[in-house]
Structure formats: structure tokens, C-alpha cells
Structure 1
Amino acid sequence: MTITPFQALTCPLDGAPLSAEERRWCCPSGHSFDTARQGYVHLLPVQNKRSRDPGDSKDMVAARQRFLAHDDYRPIAEAVGRRVLAGAPSTAPLRCLDAGCGEGYYLRMLAESATAAGRDLELLGLDISKWAVQAAARQDRRVRWLVASNANLPVADNALDWVLCLFGFPVYDQFARVLKPGGRLLQVDAGPEHLRQLRETLYPQLRESANTGADAPAGFEREDEERIHYPLTLPSQERIADLLAMTPHGYRAKAEGLARAAALDALEVTVDVRLVSWQRR
């Protein structure tokens, strides 16, 4: 069993194949992209950024690392691993992209599951946040880590068996392009009860969650859905603060709601997520 970095990258400027040359990646037109000392490659051109420092901040990434280190979301990661590895051929590596990988927790857990199952993987993780990708690259060099955008995936056509979009921002036409015919997309989104108790603390009135993933996006057929639902106890203010900081609620909530959350010494919340599997037509 081997876990190896994904290789079929393309130039974000002209779409041509990239080839590795020592500590940089180059395309035939002469565009060159250095490998950072942490081991990742920056493939997000300045003209494609919507802000100077897009994506999660350094503080948000640190909070997510601290929270996920307690394995409170391990049941979600294990469900992802079961889906990806179920029925996977043992004769060829399974090529998988985590589109919006954050600090790499779910790919590390997938590699752990593949090791136990004796399966070969080629892994690629990308995120628009350089802080997230730096953190991911420091923790696991077996994965190809990129600073890049889902809106313009620097990946060859028909190159992947799986795309994971876990609490992220799906760009379905790009996912369909990079998946092989018959390849699969696994989308994980918050269910209606997800972190309800925290949200009730933050907001005077809750909005009902949108029913995402009900209709098949262009190029895909819906396969099935799994619901992960369990209680989670946060035993300290520090754990509550880290969970809050790694979610959009950390900057959406008003000062009064944030103050109520900061006054809590412990909190039991509900984890409620939907795993929806799509197959590329």
C-alpha cells in the first residue's frame, strides 16, 4: 500500500500540462511555479484573487487544527473513507482530490483508512487559503498540496476517480471536467440540526438550512445520501471558541451573540451532516 502525491497538474495560466523540475513546476510556454519550502505549490495567479489574502485566515486555520486534533469530527472522516474506498480496485491507485482541503484533516484520515485497507492512493489537496495549505503541507508530505481555486482547478481533464467537497464551495463544471467518466463526487454539507445549540446561543432567531444537493447538477447523476448525526460535548470555553472560530458564525454573529458564547464554560451540540454521492455521467 502506498500513498503518493498526485501528478497530473496543469498550468493555471494557459491550461498546459505541468512537469516537475527539481523544486519547481513548468509548462511548455515557460510559466514556472516554485515549490515552497513547506512542500506545497502556489497555483493561484494574482489576477484570479478576489482579495489580497483569500480564504481562511491564519487564526481560523489554527483554531481548526486545535479543534480537529480532538477527533470530534472523526465519525465524518471515517464515513468519507468508507465511501471512497468501497469497491475501489486494488490493481491501480485511486486518484482523489479534496477541493477545499483546509489544513488537510480529511485527506490524512483517508490515507489512514487506505493504509488499513491496503489500498493505493494518489492524493491532491487544494485550498484558496495559503495558511491552510501551509498547515496541511507541514503535516503530511505524501499528498500534493496546492494553493488554488475550485473555480479554475489546475488539474488535467478526466484525471480523477473522486472529488471531495467537504463543507466547501462546489464548482460542478470544474468537478465534472477533472473526473473520469463514472468518477464520483462526494459532497458533505451541514444538516438542519448541525450545531443548533451553538447557533441558538449566537442568534435571536435561526434560519432554516437550505436543502442543498437535492437536484443533480449538470453532468452528474445522484447516487445516494448518508446522514451522520451524533451529540458532541465541548467541555471548555477554549473548545467552544475554536469551533466558533473555524465556522462562518465567528464573523457572521453580532457582538451580543459572541458575548453569550464567550460566557459559556461548556456546551453540548449536535453534529448533523449530509454526505451526498454523485456520479459523473
Structure 2
Amino acid sequence: MKKMDQKIIQMKEMDLLLCPKCREELHVEEKSLKCKNRHTYDVSKKGTVNFVLGYGEEYYNLAMLEARERVMGEGFFEEILTAMAEEIYEDILLLEKEGDVIRILDAGCGDGSHLAMLGEALKEKGLQVSMVGVDLSKDGILLAGRKMNDALYFVADLSALPFKDNSFDVILNILSPASYKEFQRVLSPSGRAYKVIPGAKYLTELRKLYGLSEYDNGEIVSHLKSHTVVYKERDIRAQKKVERYADDLLLMTPMLWDKTILEPGAKLSKVTIDVHLATFGYPKKIEEGVSL
């Protein structure tokens, strides 16, 4: 079966898509998605769909995203993804949902590597998962669509997600902007969201090479806590040897773009991973029994 046909079948089975223009349900018609107002979105040969209607975030270009994909393949974020898999699994057991199909949305999925790796980790723990990734970058979704897994990938704006209310049990938001209003809408009442935020020492060696100040996540954490209920917090730290892929690491890191290195001959041998993992949700949805 062609990849496009396989993904179209998945879209039919999941039945969670809304038109971002008019918020009416989308249905599959041949090789397109259409709503009752005849707004139409074509399914690509790789089974992806572009919902952003002619514009997208080109800042994250293909070369940068391919470098990121290679860095991911080197296990750069292994500790982060392992910790997330542990937290998700514990929460699924706590909520007594281990026999259900867990619907996962990666909001800001980039090239799809995080979602693919986390999905495999959760399957190894015995969970059944249904995965969807969205990103504003057309190139990111192009790369994600090449992956040989059963996830669905869409070019979409986080502030106007093309999904029905209460569509997901889990939302991933990894080193990416968030849209808490939309997360609240598409997350199920008992669902959990997992946000990864850089810590003060995140990529500190790179920051020193380029003369950048220490990272301060106080504003992001404060914003998160003012819009959600944070259930758990966890700090994840590791040191990674990066000699083999230092050039890719520099290319994939947005904070370094257009910056000048202070020591042109310096060799980058190790880098610090320091992130804050927050598990949050919207318990008021359970109390009121409605989507807010």
C-alpha cells in the first residue's frame, strides 16, 4: 500500500480533524480533506497535509532541520526523551488508561524525531499509541513525512490547531513555543501535557563560545503556571560528548544564528543538557465537564 493511502486510512480512523478556516469537520474525499464549506487540503505523497494556507515558518530551513535530525540520531536528547517516557508511562498507569490507545500530539514536532523516539519507547513499555505531529515549518513536516512510522504529520499553526475538542490524551511541547488556550481545547479532560524548557546551563558551552549570557527561564515558567495547573516538575541534566557532530549542533541551534564566535579556533568537545520538564493539565475541565 502506498504511504499516502495508508495515512488517509489513518485520518479516517482517527476522525479528529477540523478545518482551520471555519472549524467544521474535515472528511476525506479521494486524496484531499474537505469540510462542508468545501475548503480543501490536499494530502501529499508522503501522507502529510499543509493547513497553513500558503505561509509557513521558513526560518527553520531544510539544512538546519536535517542537521537537527542527525544530532537527534546521535542520541543528543536521549536523557530528555527517556525521562518523558517515564513520566508519561507513570501517568497513564495512575489514570488507569494502560489498556487504551493513547492519543499523542507533538506540538512543535520539527522533523518528527522526538515523536518517533518517544512513541517507540512507550510501545516498548506495552502502551498502544496513536501519534500526531504538527509544526509550522513545511520543511520540518517534509522530513517528518519521510519517516517510516505510523504517525500523522501536519503543517499547522499552534494557535489554530486543526483538531476537534478533547482529541488527545497527551501533548508534547519540547523546546518549542506553546499555545495554552489551544492545548486546553484539544487536550482531554484527564489528559496531561509535557513541556520541556531550557534550564540556566542549557548549552552553556555554546553560549560562552558566542559571548551569550546565561539562560533565564523564569518568564516562561511563570507564564506556564499562570495558564495551567502544573502537576509535577523535574530537572534533567547530562553532559554530552559532541566532537563527531559539533558542526551539526552549531547549525541546528537558533540562538547562534547571525552570532559571531569569540574564539574562531575553539573546539567544541562537550555540551551540557539542562532542561526543566513540567507536567501540566487543566483539571477545571473535569470539574465543569465541558471544553473550555
Q: Same fold (TM over 0.5)?
A: yes
Amino acid in structure 1 at the alignment position of 2:135? D
1:222 to partner: Cα distance: 1.1
Amino acid in structure 2 at the alignment position of 1:58? L
In the alignment, which residue of structure 1 is the partner of 2:16? 8
C-alpha distance in structure 2 between counterparts of 1:195 and 1:53, whole Å: 24
C-alpha distance in structure 2 between counterparts of 1:104 and 1:256, whole Å: 30
The count of corresponding residues between Structure 1 and Structure 2 is 266
Is the partner of 1:54 in helix, strand or coil? coil
1:23 aligns with 2:27: no
C-alpha distance in structure 2 between counterparts of 1:106 and 1:38, whole Å: 19
What is the TM-score of this pair, normalised by structure 1? 0.89
C-alpha distance in structure 2 between counterparts of 1:20 and 1:92, whole Å: 25
* Residue among 194, 216, 223 paired with 1:209: 216
After TM superposition, the structure 1 = structure 2 runs for residues 182-221 of structure 1, keeping only pairs within 5 Å, are 182-203=190-211, 205-211=212-218, 212-214=220-222, 216-218=225-227, 220-221=228-229
Q: Which structure dedicates a bigger proportion of its chain to helix?
A: 2
Are the equivalent residues in 2 in contact too, given 1:13–1:45 (CA < 8 A)?
no
Are the equivalent residues in 1 in contact too, given 2:18–2:26 (CA < 8 A)?
yes
1:90 aligns with 2:127: no
Are the equivalent residues in 2 in contact too, given 1:191–1:272 (CA < 8 A)?
yes
Is the partner of 1:136 in helix, strand or coil? helix
In the alignment, which residue of structure 2 is the partner of 1:250? 256
Cα RMSD (Å): 1.8
In the alignment, which residue of structure 1 is the partner of 2:280? 278
1:59 aligns with 2:63: yes
1:213 to partner: Cα distance: 1.7
C-alpha distance in structure 2 between counterparts of 1:124 and 1:106, whole Å: 12
Are the equivalent residues in 2 in contact too, given 1:231–1:271 (CA < 8 A)?
yes
Are the equivalent residues in 1 in contact too, given 2:210–2:256 (CA < 8 A)?
no
C-alpha distance in structure 1 between counterparts of 2:265 and 2:77, whole Å: 24
C-alpha distance in structure 2 between counterparts of 1:207 and 1:78, whole Å: 26
Are the equivalent residues in 1 in contact too, given 2:201–2:215 (CA < 8 A)?
no
Higher RCO (Cα < 8 Å, 6 or more apart) = 1
In the alignment, which residue of structure 1 is the partner of 2:5? none
Deviations 1:72-99 (A, max 9, x none): 2111111111222224213321111000
Are the equivalent residues in 2 in contact too, given 1:12–1:45 (CA < 8 A)?
no
In the alignment, which residue of structure 2 is the partner of 1:127? 135
In the alignment, which residue of structure 1 is the partner of 2:178? 170
1:78 aligns with 2:85: no
Runs of 4+ in 1 over 6 A off after TM superposition: none
C-alpha distance in structure 1 between counterparts of 2:270 and 2:72, whole Å: 16
Amino acid in structure 2 at the alignment position of 1:216? K
Are the equivalent residues in 1 in contact too, given 2:41–2:51 (CA < 8 A)?
yes
1:99 aligns with 2:101: no
Q: For residues 67 and 234 of structure 1, do their structure 2 counterparts lie closer, same or farther at Cα, with a shift above 3 Å needed?
A: same
Are the equivalent residues in 1 in contact too, given 2:229–2:282 (CA < 8 A)?
yes
Is the partner of 1:86 in helix, strand or coil? helix
Amino acid in structure 1 at the alignment position of 2:184? A
C-alpha distance in structure 2 between counterparts of 1:256 and 1:55, whole Å: 21
Q: For residues 208 and 143 of structure 1, do their structure 2 counterparts lie closer, same or farther at Cα, with a shift above 3 Å needed?
A: closer
- Consecutive unaligned residues of structure 2, counting only runs of 5 or more, are 1-9, 284-292
Is the partner of 2:232 in helix, strand or coil? strand
C-alpha distance in structure 1 between counterparts of 2:53 and 2:217, whole Å: 33
C-alpha distance in structure 2 between counterparts of 1:53 and 1:83, whole Å: 31
- Consecutive unaligned residues of structure 1, counting only runs of 5 or more, are none
C-alpha distance in structure 1 between counterparts of 2:72 and 2:99, whole Å: 33
1:141 to partner: Cα distance: 4.0
1:249 to partner: Cα distance: 2.3
